[in-house]
Structure 1
């Protein structure tokens, strides 16, 4: 075998391949169709939809065409009110069309009047969800969490899925990602990725969290796992369960009422007794159980279920994960390390939510929001992700947020020292959270996560050393090359 030596620039450094432990691959590609995240008013958001229609003659001349988008964020709007179906009707180009727009956090859908009318009579209540209603109790056009299932949308073609996938892969490889943990593979997504793997067309590694449909019976014994398909590019041996909603929409399940809305404690999307039944079943069948939990009540309930299930289970063999683990009671922080539950966190959520967190939770409870250091100090393993398209795809943004707890322009509600700076991670902890710890969380630490003889040659060449660069310079770091299995997937060396 002929060995080939390559040289890099003296100021460049090589790090293990970077992983995003919580992202949505096809959804990110869909988000790029109509960029909505940066809008500051509902009118500006509708304008983005108008421009999209005008830029596509086939859609402009066919009012029956379905229009979908992703990324609106009412917390960034001037009045922070939820949008309504009627607001689409104010623009003659947009009016009378079938429109469904996903919120930035993925926990709400905003639909047009035409879509709303086609839905017919709606239930008064949806367990684990919410239909936003106006003064007359009529639906206004926003559906949250489980209520989103009431909205019917067309099934995308394989060609549409490929376009979304390719858009995501292009950005991911340019950002240095060699592995992505996809947080919710519904049957359509799973089949798409399986097909890509079988055809040898997965340019990076995907660890899939198989979607658990809480409206159907337990399926753990009926569904086969996927491990190492497509030359070790696709694995799906975990199941993703949603425990509650999101903090942004006021649906995260809390022990006590919201400070800014005392009428609610949020909602559990799935009842505790169901969690206590299906979690042990999945673990008994050898599935890694991954649970979305944001509110302190949701995290506590899920940890209770894990604790009960782990009485008869091998933790290291099953590696249960809590996705987000955003708001934690002090007693629950200690249970992560004790139980061996992996905390899968998104540091850029912290620097996004820090601007409204205290208003929503109050001055004391907010101290348990994104308490990274407290989780680590109790012996837990942390793995980092972005939740893109909720946040951007660049993993260095998460690295920067984890070690600074500052916005990228150096600000925080607590000043330039960072938001609750005592909860910062060290650079080494943050890098581990993007490399060896995601490998552990996906059962691949023997082959991925570090530059070690015998492991796969996944690595990234960066333009500077992020472990020593001044904090203010970290986000200026460029990816010179992303290498997977020893071959450049992006850039060159």
Structure 2
């Protein structure tokens, strides 16, 4: 199924195939209308040209430029000096040489000759005195390309910025991680002097330590500077908290069990200081609510990295009440520096709110939308919490767990859909994915499920019987390719040699009619979208390795380059109900685009990650680099 196209389409005479590459003369500025007039030998020919131009410009503007506030010439044209190197992701016009941007919108696309011819004529007619200036034409460097603005379809925006404050990722031992915490405390005189102040951080990953065992509160007490403080540290995947003894004591008495979560205990039954999934809620009362200024810092740190890597939009997979209010206030006070599509978190213990909560449909000049709900079905594969049909191969005592009861899923999902909410569900294990698909099917009698574009966030392990339901229901698979290249090293031990084939089965999802959007799950993975692009088409690590050799891990599940590019541009736009204004370089859409230093669609795969972002552009304006 193709996403709906922009209603603004070019007349057949205005969008032609590229017919010529630019000559050196093409690089000169377009001649002014007065110069054109001077070259004409008779009033009759001039009069005829004006009539033709008037008809051309009138048709052009009325069909395409209804959104523009000023009926005058374009802001600029941007072209490739060596042929059609602009990948539009527009099926009607897939590669062009030039684009024209006016007032933040794409208004034309074609060869350099076509653009010069069309826009000279328009400029001549619009100015009765024939004094309109020529169309400014700029060129990207030779070898560079342009693609539509890139979307990361699954992020934790403020949390990524949080990781930049006290970075814990990349350590090799628990001792090194504790050392990072000490360095942070030492660098903050007020924190060092006051042991009652809470220390928070994000990013530890015990699966990357030399001894892949869970950390403990005792590890935090081993350092004299760190010891005795209230400390709460989020794991890289967001599914575990590591807390100090100070916090553990404050949480007493702890329940024996937590539905949908785990309190890690030692052999004597004492809590060790690690809380999984829903058990993390036990520590929430001891976490201070961040101030607006703190959240602003985190957001700005995220945006800084995002635009530097070519991101123009992010889908935030977890607006809790604090972050929702932050973005609402930010959007009211100023224009967001990047587009944000937010998923409002549904707390399993809360009452249904879909019939009374207000959706945000496009504030901050269309840059903030929050019309979807995010539900957690199960835990994570990394922590053994993904809900499976059969027990884990490496731990037959468990099949993982659901964070929400199947009966609740079948109750609330139809209600949210009936009330017009897009429903996005975190589902990793095959059982969790199957149960969510059951709930979507049950909702068919209440709502047009396909029209509301439901999403499975992660969709990591899928039983064959569930694959076909993606296409039939119109469910979108929101996947993170770099998760595959991370997990491939331990996943078979966890799932066994047969079940592993249904993990990260990108090609199978597409072949069953599913639509895929690509994301990073940052801060679980890095911010660079090209890392996901590379992983999707190679299924290799950045070093070119995999458990199956240099050909890739289950290479039959690779995506094509065009599928991956579409998964970062047009498909995320569809998944956020924005495909009429974003996702492709098409006339009438907002001028979001990225200039890459290399042609990622043709160069050798080992060179893809060497590609630099030369410019990131939102609404026609450069937010990173230059053009």
TM-score normalised according to structure 1 size: 0.99
1:2 to 73, 79, 100: 73
Q: Distance in 2 between matches of 1:79 and 1:14?
A: 45
1:86-485 → structure 2 map (5 Å cutoff)? 86-151=218-283, 152-485=286-619
Q: Does 1:84 align with 2:155?
A: no
The alpha carbon displacement at 1:201 in A equals: 3.5
| SS of residue matched to 1:32 | helix
The alpha carbon displacement at 1:312 in A equals: 3.8
Q: Does 1:61 align with 2:193?
A: yes
The alpha carbon displacement at 1:448 in A equals: 0.1
> Contact 2:414–2:446 at 8 Å: present in 1 too?
no
Q: Distance in 1 between matches of 2:446 and 2:548?
A: 45
Q: Which residue is equivalent to 2:128?
A: none
> Contact 2:335–2:367 at 8 Å: present in 1 too?
no
The alpha carbon displacement at 1:317 in A equals: 2.1
Q: Distance in 1 between matches of 2:507 and 2:400?
A: 26
| SS of residue matched to 2:274 | strand
| SS of residue matched to 1:31 | helix
The alpha carbon displacement at 1:198 in A equals: 1.1
Report Cα offsets for 1:123-155 as digits up to 9, x if no partner. Answer: 111111111111111111001111100003001
Report Cα offsets for 1:370-398 as digits up to 9, x if no partner. Answer: 00000000010000000000000000000
Q: Distance in 2 between matches of 1:312 and 1:150?
A: 36
The alpha carbon displacement at 1:434 in A equals: 0.1
The alpha carbon displacement at 1:77 in A equals: 1.2
The alpha carbon displacement at 1:57 in A equals: 1.1
Q: Distance in 2 between matches of 1:392 and 1:470?
A: 22
Q: Distance in 1 between matches of 2:578 and 2:290?
A: 32
| SS of residue matched to 1:433 | helix
* Structure label with greater radius of gyration: 2
| SS of residue matched to 1:6 | strand
Q: Distance in 2 between matches of 1:197 and 1:421?
A: 43
The alpha carbon displacement at 1:303 in A equals: 0.6
Q: Distance in 2 between matches of 1:315 and 1:121?
A: 44
Q: Distance in 1 between matches of 2:618 and 2:536?
A: 26
The alpha carbon displacement at 1:213 in A equals: 1.1
Q: Distance in 2 between matches of 1:112 and 1:93?
A: 13
Q: Distance in 1 between matches of 2:172 and 2:400?
A: 26
Structure 2: stretches of 5+ with no match in the other structure: 1-71, 77-136
| SS of residue matched to 2:138 | coil
Q: Distance in 1 between matches of 2:598 and 2:580?
A: 27
| SS of residue matched to 1:192 | helix
Q: Which residue is equivalent to 1:52?
A: 184
The alpha carbon displacement at 1:37 in A equals: 1.4
| SS of residue matched to 1:418 | coil
The alpha carbon displacement at 1:12 in A equals: 1.1
RMSD: 0.8
Report Cα offsets for 1:250-300 as digits up to 9, x if no partner. Answer: 000011111111111111000000000000000000000000000011001
Q: Distance in 1 between matches of 2:176 and 2:587?
A: 53
Q: Distance in 1 between matches of 2:281 and 2:138?
A: 52
> Contact 2:505–2:557 at 8 Å: present in 1 too?
yes
| SS of residue matched to 2:165 | coil
Q: Distance in 2 between matches of 1:247 and 1:166?
A: 31
Q: Which residue is equivalent to 2:65?
A: none
1:70 to 202, 205, 208: 202
The alpha carbon displacement at 1:310 in A equals: 2.2
The alpha carbon displacement at 1:34 in A equals: 1.7
The alpha carbon displacement at 1:200 in A equals: 1.9
| SS of residue matched to 2:441 | helix
Q: Distance in 2 between matches of 1:419 and 1:310?
A: 37
The alpha carbon displacement at 1:311 in A equals: 3.8
Structure 1 stretches of 4+ moved >6 Å? none
Q: Distance in 2 between matches of 1:461 and 1:199?
A: 30
| SS of residue matched to 1:206 | strand
Q: Distance in 2 between matches of 1:107 and 1:222?
A: 30
